[in-house]
Copies of this chain bind each other. A is one copy, B any other.
């Protein structure tokens, strides 16, 4: 079917080794034979068999991505889908294909690390995963190049949004519009959640604002129903926030629904803000005020860093790469005018 290097070498009247060297730019082959080989390769449409090459060189030019979640795969998750898309584009630009890593391939039960070895990926990108799982730890402490998104491990490169600054900017924005009773529904417990929550608390404290009991509650990322419950509860307490910051844009929809079910309209009676900057949600009205994460750059950087780790292992060191966020001033935070204080 496909033409092999042996056939090509016969057409050229050369040995297999010379042909290989000609194609791979070795110096010990004359300019003219190199040209002969190359043009013949072009003519016959020769492509080296990636399996054979990988077997010999231990390089597959394949990157693993671990983008799974408990409830849903990362694919149906807007934020991660966007990151993955960008990762894919950048990886391909650099000559790498990508393969999904998982366990339970077929009947056989492999750990993530085993799967990576089995497929001989050159490196792997972790995101949207239960970072505490033993399997993940095994992979992270293994010898395969790793970059993570949104979670920091010892001695591993991590790409994440400037969550601290993002939350800070959001709180300040809300503050500047006159809000003083600001509540925060966080996402489920995770490294990112911790950063955001502490940033929220710090910023509030810097602004001299109290965070009364019940104004900081835990919800679940990407789960409107959970947010619905939490917000409903929040709004039926005696002390009501004038503005609620939601775990993310999608979850925010649940919070908005809860408010509307209680007869409140947004932003007249209650202000809300999200996190992520999901494109689709920006088409809604009123347009959601939110902190946009730069998924394009996150994915891009992840791929870039991973390829560096692979191709220049000695000169590349683990880094923490922070990607700036951008506040999208929508229409869901009401301007209360001059502060009442």
Contact = CB atoms under 8 A, between A and B. Distances in A.
A285 B224 CA distance: 14
Nearest to A295: B76
A318 interface: no
A95 B106 contact: yes
Contact of A94 (B72, B78, B96, B106): B106
A102 interface: yes
Contacts of A45: 114
A117 interface: yes
A85 interface: yes
A182 B110 CA distance: 54
A283 B81 contact: no
Given A106-B94, A117-B2, A55 B47 contact: no
A281 interface: yes
A280 B280 contact: yes
A7 interface: no
Nearest to A102: B92
A257 interface: yes
B55 A52 contact: yes
A115 to B, nearest CB: 8
A134 to B, nearest CB: 15
Contact of A82 (B61, B76, B117): B76
- Interface range on chain A (Cβ under 8 Å from partner): 35 or more
The copy count of this chain in the complex is 2
Interface in A275-297: 278-281, 283-285
A88 interface: yes
A139 interface: no
A47 B105 contact: no
Interface string A235-277: 0000000000000001001100100100000000000000000
Contact of A75 (B81, B108, B250, B283): B81
A338 interface: no
A173 to B, nearest CB: 24
Contacts of A99: 62, 97-99
A244 B28 CA distance: 70
A187 B81 CA distance: 23
Given A102-B92, A260-B285, A51 B97 contact: no
A15 interface: no
Contacts of A78: 76, 280
A104 interface: yes
Contacts of A94: 106
A341 interface: no
Contacts of A49: 55, 118, 120
18 contacts: A47-B118, A49-B120, A51-B51, A51-B120, A75-B75, A75-B84, A76-B78, A76-B279, A95-B107, A96-B106, A97-B119, A224-B283, A253-B280, A253-B284, A278-B280, A280-B280, A280-B281, A284-B284
Closest CB pairs A-B (n = 5): A95-B106, A75-B85, A253-B283, A51-B55, A73-B85
Interface of A: 1-2, 45, 47, 49-52, 54-55, 60-62, 72-73, 75-76, 78, 81-82, 84-85, 88-89, 92-100, 102, 104-108, 110, 114, 117-120, 143, 224, 250, 253-254, 257, 260, 278-281, 283-285
